[in-house]
Amino acid sequence: MLGAVSCAGGGCESTAARYRPLATANVADIVARTHVRRGKGRSIAARRPTTATDLSNGFEGRAMSKMKVGMIGGGGPANFFGAPHRRAILMDNSAELAAGALRSNPDEALASAKELYFTRGYRDWKSLVADESKLAVGERVDYVTIVTPNDAHFGPAEAAAKAGIGVVCEKPLTMNLAEAKSLYQTVKQHKTPFVVAYTYTAFPMVMFARRLVLDGAIGEVRKVEAWYPQGWLASKLETEGQKQASWRVDPSKAGASGCGGDIGTHAYEFIRFVTGKTALRVQARLKSFVKGRALDDDFTVLAELDGDAVATIAASQITIGAQNDNGFRVSGTKGTIEWSITEHNALKHLEAGSPVKIYRLGAEYGYIPESIKPYVRVPSGHPEGFHEALANLHRTIEWTIRASRGEKAPKPFELPGIADGAAGMAFIEAAVASSKQEGAWVPVASIE
Ligand SMILES: NC(=O)c1ccc[n+]([C@@H]2O[C@H](COP(=O)([O-])OP(=O)(O)OC[C@H]3O[C@@H](n4cnc5c(N)ncnc54)[C@H](O)[C@@H]3O)[C@@H](O)[C@H]2O)c1
């Protein structure tokens, strides 16, 4: 049922029309009525409302409430990535979809929130942040998930951080490095729980690769190859009304790099996440193979990393048949680690003169570190994949928030945060500049 709510701070025009499904109120009423003590002249007013804690029967977990998650973007029938995030948020039954500003058109945003069973729907992200931040902790959203096109990441992320609301933000973090640096400072200042949705880093075997490499299993890192070819933009799909293609080839919505910003950032984050290294300078060649495109559909970068290592980052959207193939190979002084999404529950470890060692996913296997086990949901041999990885990003922010409140939660694995998002923008900006200068070496700016 739609209805207006009060506005404060002068934002009446953007005030949300919010709704609470009748079912929510009814269930609360029923619970309260069922547990009321009978007789002895107690009035209705004197009866204490029953809370989840009252019903816990000593089961500690019940005392904690579900994470209340807001979503910005991700609505409408033609949308892509909102739905995987919603599945991921709900996967562990520890969170609920509390508030949504799901589309750019206010009426469609409200309709979409209702259709997708969000507790509260908002006309736009400004009203969501403004109104939610007036609610008490425990009632308001604990964090928002931003799943809009790239031009609408910075605004809601900054507003949420300033309002004390956590953020899971899609990549690329922002439209440009200036926005990214500014957001980085805001998030640092407000100590905002912040995760950047580099989905592939949250596959358990990629997390394991990070542990192995940082613990020295392959010695000093010398070289990283990171790849992410796709083929879906090999023809001019944007002229056929395909929504995801349309904004991805538009610099005013996507930023200064098309393919690089969209998937080159994923490949670059493999390097930072698995090796802990960062690019110091790059030589890049960005190309638009499809005529008339303002942005690159092919992105090739050579990078010098700290510690005298080198990397190649190859992303493409014109590699017909490549589907969503992405992965990395890290070579060190003692061996090589290799992972590909084509066999994502395995991790190869190669050493000179020895048979290839293949680790397989399984929380019961002794070699999987304790820090990763809470991110594995089923016994070995039962495939876990893309949605679980996305859910792992949400687990990290959830456990970070719960721990900050003194609630019991597993230790969150250090999945990518604001610094990684900002570093991704510094990398993209340097790559664009290098390509414009015919592949000259361009330093990658610091995010500080
Ligand atoms: N991490 C990953 O693996 C991954 C995968 C796909 C997409 N993405 C990222 O997710 C984001 C969305 O991509 P997509 O493919 O789902 O795009 P999409 O075009 O399918 O969906 C964008 C959604 O945002 C809504 N929207 C647009 N402007 C808005 C605004 N100002 N306020 C509220 N809602 C608004 C649209 O109505 C739509 O529902 C992009 O940043 C993209 O890079 C990440």
pLDDT given at position 64: 82
Please report the atom of ligand 1 found closest to the CA of residue 197. 1
For the cut 70, the answer to whether the pLDDT of residue 301 exceeds it is yes
Residue 384 binned pLDDT confidence (cut-offs 50, 70, 90): very high
pLDDT given at position 189: 98
Q: Are 155 and 135 in contact (CB under 8 A)?
A: no
Residue 8 binned pLDDT confidence (cut-offs 50, 70, 90): very low
| Residue 322 backbone dihedrals phi, psi, to 5 degrees | -75, -15
Question: How far, in Å, are 26, 39, 132, 395 from residue 197 at the CA level?
Answer: 36, 55, 23, 12
CA–CA dist 150, 171 (Å, integer): 7
Residue 323 binned pLDDT confidence (cut-offs 50, 70, 90): confident
- For the Cβ of 199 lying below 6 angstroms from any atom of ligand 1, the answer is yes
pLDDT given at position 401: 97
CA–CA dist 137, 149 (Å, integer): 29
Q: If DSSP codes are grouped into helix, strand and coil, which group holds residue 225? A: strand
pLDDT in tens, 122-170: 999 999 999 999 999 999 999 999 999 999 999 999 999 999 999 999 9
- For the Cβ of 272 lying below 6 angstroms from any atom of ligand 1, the answer is no
- For the Cβ of 72 lying below 6 angstroms from any atom of ligand 1, the answer is yes
Average of per-residue pLDDT across 392-397: 98
Q: How far is ligand 1, taken at its centre, from the CA of residue 39, in Å? A: 56
Q: Looking at ligand 1, which residue's alpha carbon is closest to its atom 10?
A: 147
Question: How far, in Å, are 10, 27, 30, 37, 49 from residue 41 at the CA level?
Answer: 47, 25, 21, 10, 17
Question: How far, in Å, are 101, 301, 393 from residue 224 at the CA level?
Answer: 40, 12, 24
**Span 200-381+419-443: which CATH code?**
3.30.360.10
Question: How far, in Å, are 13, 134, 224, 337, 346 from residue 384 at the CA level?
Answer: 45, 39, 26, 21, 11
Average pLDDT, the chain: 88
DSSP string, 299-330: EEEEEEEGGG-EEEEEEES--TT-TT--EEEE
pLDDT given at position 248: 97
Domain boundaries, the chain: 3-148, 200-381+419-443
Distance of CA 157 to the CA centre of its chain: 12
For the cut 50, the answer to whether the pLDDT of residue 28 exceeds it is no
Q: Would you identify the CATH topology of the domain 3-148? A: Rossmann fold (3.40.50)
Q: Are 341 and 323 in contact (CB under 8 A)?
A: no
Q: How far is ligand 1, taken at its centre, from the CA of residue 66, in Å? A: 25
CA–CA dist 385, 50 (Å, integer): 40
- For the Cβ of 230 lying below 6 angstroms from any atom of ligand 1, the answer is no
pLDDT given at position 5: 26
Region of poorest pLDDT, from 38-42, 352-356, 379-383, 424-428 = 38-42
- For the Cβ of 169 lying below 6 angstroms from any atom of ligand 1, the answer is no
pLDDT given at position 25: 30
Percent of the chain with pLDDT over 70: 86
pLDDT given at position 98: 98
Q: What angle do CA 96, 51, 402 make, to 5 degrees?
A: 45
Q: How far is ligand 1, taken at its centre, from the CA of residue 102, in Å? A: 10
Please report the atom of ligand 1 found closest to the CA of residue 105. 37
Average of per-residue pLDDT across 339-364: 97
What are the tokens at 240?
A: 């056929």
Please report the atom of ligand 1 found closest to the CA of residue 82. 16
Q: Give the residue, out of 116, 158, 170, 198, with the most ligand 1 atoms within 8 A of its beta carbon, to mutate for a pocket test.
A: 170
- For the Cβ of 246 lying below 6 angstroms from any atom of ligand 1, the answer is no
Q: Are 409 and 248 in contact (CB under 8 A)?
A: no
Burial of 383 (0-12, 13-18, 19+ CB in 10 A): exposed
pLDDT given at position 10: 27
* Strands, E assignment, 147-278: 166-169, 194-196, 221-229
Bridge partner list, 350: 336
Tell me whether the CATH fold assigned to 3-148 matches the one assigned to 200-381+419-443: no
Q: Give the residue, out of 147, 259, 388, with the most ligand 1 atoms within 8 A of its beta carbon, to mutate for a pocket test.
A: 147
Q: If DSSP codes are grouped into helix, strand and coil, which group holds residue 67? A: strand
Q: Give the residue, out of 79, 86, 169, 199, with the most ligand 1 atoms within 8 A of its beta carbon, to mutate for a pocket test.
A: 79
pLDDT in tens, 177-212: 999 999 999 999 999 999 999 999 999 999 999 999
Q: How far is ligand 1, taken at its centre, from the CA of residue 110, in Å? A: 17
Q: Are 258 and 249 in contact (CB under 8 A)?
A: yes
- For the Cβ of 79 lying below 6 angstroms from any atom of ligand 1, the answer is yes
Q: What angle do CA 86, 390, 116 make, to 5 degrees?
A: 5
Residue 53 binned pLDDT confidence (cut-offs 50, 70, 90): very low
Residue 63 binned pLDDT confidence (cut-offs 50, 70, 90): low
For residue 116, the tally of other CB atoms under 10 A from its CB is: 18
CA–CA dist 174, 183 (Å, integer): 9
pLDDT given at position 23: 31
Q: Looking at ligand 1, which residue's alpha carbon is closest to its atom 9?
A: 170
